[in-house]
Amino acid sequence: MNKLLYLVSAVLFSTSFFAQKDGFWDKERATTKEITLSAGKRTLIKTEDLPVGTTEFVYRITVLDENQKLTSSLVSVLKAIPDPTGISQGTAGAIHLTSAISGDDKCTFALFQEANAANLFLKEGKTDRACWEQKEKVNKDAKLISSSSLCLTNLPNLWFGFESQNWVMNQKIVLEVVPWVDYKASRGWTKQNKKELEAEIARLDFVSSLSKKEIFSGEFIDLIIGKYKYKEFKDLLPSEKANSIQNLAIQAVQNTKQMNDFLEFKRKTAWDFYKKNQHQKAIDYILKEIVDNKWAQAKDYSALGDIYIETKQFVKAKESYFKATQLDNNQLWYQLKYANALVFNEDISEAKEIHKKYKSNNIDVKTSWIQQAKFDIEFYKSKGLNVDDFKKILRILD
């Protein structure tokens, strides 16, 4: 029986613990204001600016007689309430939040999130644009205003409008407001602000090539909001922002395991330059976007070698093809290209050894080494390259 009670207690405790909200009562930016209101008059009190991340707040109104004083502040009361769930779930209801002391005088009041609406109340007593209203005459009141309230739609602004219900005597009113700041929300990334990041994603040229675009977008947004508060992100210099977006976008690609899609986009971009006979742009793009970032694979060095051959940069072609063979020594395609580059560099004997070694093999399931070697020679000829030295190779292949 004792074990059962222990188990039930443990479950209830853990449930209560994990139900707690992640934030804090911001006593540093709480509002405590005392005013004297003439009989039958209205007045406005603007609270301290509600901090970024305010998702709820508690107010306490106390109307005091002339010689009365509060025995404890709202801030001190909230020390015993770890988060707003304690109020909303009834473990510390509004009756516990109200002051133990109050006078006989009473007032009505309303809350406004817009200055125009508040001023209209002050002039004409209208409350139709109030975000919350206490119509009953009270001498004390306390309430938790939750995130669903309109009162939290225009942060950091909030006004309390009071109307005295006295006929003759002035009355003393104490207003206390304590905001609850959610840690995550305090970073300033609202749904509207996150749309700015969606716009940044739309400007990334490679995103359309990703197979899991939505997963990438979610990861990218998480990385940005994890690194920066909204204000910090907005305050970045254009160059700083561009650099951060680029780095975090690549990290998001890696985290979502889409580097292959990303690199294929880079390769296609280089290929587009090549097709337009913009050979140097193609070379520079591969070097800057792939090689310098240490993402190069055998196929990338092979592509560089192809362009170097066409532009008669034979030494560079030889170096590039050699790197391709080092990264993938089982792909005979790269071995053949390396052998071709050796011929262009007049290293005929080494080229012959490679051809002798592999000439009985196929490059792929349909193409033999010999077929591809002859095709390459014709291709070089079509590009205006001198292929006379390849006659020595053909003797080995025939």
Residues 378-397: tens digit of each pLDDT: 999 999 999 999 999 999 99
Residues 175-226: tens digit of each pLDDT: 999 999 999 989 999 889 999 999 999 999 999 999 999 999 999 999 999 9
CB-based burial, 128-139: b 16+ in 10 Å, e otherwise:
eebbbebeeebb
Q: Which fold has domain 297-397?
A: 1.25.40
Residues 61-86: tens digit of each pLDDT: 999 987 888 878 899 889 888 888 87
Where along the chain do its domains lie? Answer: 18-185, 188-257, 297-397
Rg of the chain in Å (alpha carbons): 37
Distance CA 171, CA 276 (A): 84
pLDDT at 13: 35
pLDDT at 155: 86
Tally the residues of the chain. Answer: 398
Q: Considering only CA atoms, which of 204, 178, 200, 169 is closest in space to residue 37? A: 169
Query: Between β-strands 42-46 and 159-164, what pairing exists: parallel, antiparallel or unpaired?
Result: antiparallel
pLDDT at 67: 80
Other beta carbons within 10 angstroms of residue 264's beta carbon come to: 15
Other beta carbons within 10 angstroms of residue 324's beta carbon come to: 26
pLDDT < 50 stretches in the chain:
1-19, 90-93, 95
**Which amino acid is residue 41, in one-letter code?**
K
Q: Which fold has domain 18-185?
A: Jelly Rolls (2.60.120)
Q: Beta strands of 54-169 (E only): which ranges? A: 54-64, 107-112, 132-138, 140-145, 159-164
Q: Beta strands of 113-210 (E only): which ranges? A: 132-138, 140-145, 159-164, 171-182
pLDDT at 392: 95
Distance CA 45, CA 47 (A): 6
pTM: 0.74
Residues linked to residue 46 through DSSP beta bridges, in sequence order: 159
Q: Residue 370 half-sphere exposure, CB side, CA atoms within 13 Å?
A: 8
